[in-house]
Structure 1
Amino acid sequence: MPPTKLAFFRYLLIDEMLRSRSRPFPTKEEILEACNEKFGVNSISTIEKDMAAMRLDFDAPIYYDKRQKGYAYQDPEYKFLSVNLSEDEMLALSFVETLLGEFRNMPIFSLFSVAVDKVLDGLELTKKLHTEKRHLQQAIQIEQAPYLKGSDKLGDLLRYIAEQKVIEVSYQKYGSESTKDYLVHPYLLKEFRNMWYLIGYHEASGEVRTFGIDRITQVLPQEKDFLPQEKVNFDAESFYFYCIGVTALSEKPAEIRLRFEPFLANYVKAQPLHHTQEIIEDDEQKGCLLRLRLIINHELKMLILGYGAGVCVEAPASLAAEIRREFEKGVAQYATKN
């Protein structure tokens, strides 16, 4: 281990001993004994140099208490790795902490809040941020996601992906009364519109498949060799590159042209539908014409239908025909109503 890294670990041990409530005011000899046990240090001068470096490089207020015959921090609130942040940086942390509240009902995401609390404690910002967070909570409103069925399995799935563990997934499709077991090599967790999905390689079919977390009833780890992404020609970063939603079909992406009427054009220009979006025409009277490169899937069709008469598919013709048929079905349903 490099000397600088070893010295830093000694600093952490010394800091821990100086802040100890059960054994306060350690002597140099006691610090040396602890450092000898952990790091093999056998010289008092090393401990003296370490404490001098902590005072110089980290502003550690280490002093010798003659009455207690040991060392401590003059400022009991001092923390070795404390960090000074600007007002803007503190506000940013407050903002993140506020947003995390959206996920507190999900077991795995609640750990994020715990982690943030620990960081804030280490930065000695907790008290101030609690006050600022209350103000932010009154100033920020975000869409509240409902409780997601199956969210209790997210933590296990995330761990199996990190550990590259083959899993057996018991899956119940919509409309089915029974479950089916799938042997899966898990690669990715993806969120879309407050729903979570597991993407992994399914051995029996030899394909990468998508499983809705809300339909997974059981997950069991298996003692099998894990197939990494490159072995099955899968790349998590590129898999959804030309896709809206989670249905990444095997077809190649197509050039999509959508014309939005002027009012809606302002929305799609301010918030693009997809990162491939290009504006190829923009007119205050005719609206704007967008070009996108996307896989034509169910989610894309639902997105287009959601804009109603405010958008028209100009290309490809096959997609325009599908959207037209869906509108015709809708009109036919309303025509039968009294």
Structure 2
Amino acid sequence: MNQTRKPLLALALTALLSAPALAQPPSSNSTTLPPTTMADSSTILQEMPKVPVLPASLFAPAPPTGTVRGNLWEEPYFTKDPILDPSQFSQPGWFTNLELGVMKPHFKDGLNSPVQNSSQLANGTSTNVAIPSAPLDWTLTPKVSVGYQLPAGYGDLIVAFRGTSSSGNQNILGLDGPASIRSRLNYNIIDLDYASKEFAFILWPQWEMKWTVGARILWLYLDSQFNQPINQAAAGSGIASLQETNSLFAVGPHAGLEMSRKIGDTGFSVLGRLDFTTDLGKITQGYSALSTNGSGGPLLWALNRSHDGTDVPILNLQLGLNWTSPSNPGFSLFAGYEYEYWWSVGSLINGSSRGDLANQGFVLQAVLHF
């Protein structure tokens, strides 16, 4: 037992003697690392990027008008732009378009309707009025447009008016002998359009394109009248005169496309225009017959009127040569061929009447920017 305690006592004395040495402060010759303070750690955190609580743009004052922000120019709308309104093109402002067509209209007349006078009402008979239209004469078709070209490539605002009038006479062999037919045509068109700024194709630098959208208002009137001498009619069918009338009022959307191909630097270009509209409106038709009385009494009059809704599509095509003045890009001249077709100008939904109108001829046009 005593032998076991001796080693233990020796270890305890050794630990007691070494404890004061461990508790002494380090000598000045020893090297130690400075402790990390709270100030040092906060400095490191402050140097790190911080996310703002609210974006500064909410409180920043608005930039003044006309200043640059980034790569975008903040300028007022509809002001002249040196890039979008270069001097080699027509400049913003008022312009007029004067067009004169030399056209030959043709009416495909399928109008027809039965009429009854007092005598026919009594015996249950009727007269069918169906007059072939006389060939219409060549006529002038003027068109006047006034517009304003907006700056900075915003396009054009245009008001246009076009109208024509034509008539024709034809001598035929009628119901009872020689007779005559007289036909008349009148129409007026108003277009309210927006036209895009002309621009060139990237892959085809010599080409330019321009499109138009808007609305169209139109009025149309046509009639045909058949006449033969009364004594001739009294000896035969009894019909001295027949007349048919067709009037139309319609409104609808209007669209157009213009494409041109420049011919070098001559100022000339080959130009084509395609114009289309479909107008909804009302057709009113009238049919009348003047007949002799078999007993030698007064002439008998018969009249029938009808009206119906309709849809009138119109297609117009122009193709020709255009010249733009190199010294004044706001002035140009166009000469070419024009073809136009009107569907259903005399077609009734509830009835057998049908009628289409075709126009073709030559057109001259001058455009002048003030």
TM class, shorter-length: under 0.3
- Identify, as 1 or 2, the structure richer in helix: 1
Which of structures 1 and 2 has the bigger CA Rg?
Answer: 2
Q: Bigger relative contact order, structure 1 or 2, given CA contacts below 8 A and separation 6+?
A: 2
Scaled by the length of structure 1, what TM-score is found? 0.20
Scaled by the length of structure 2, what TM-score is found? 0.19
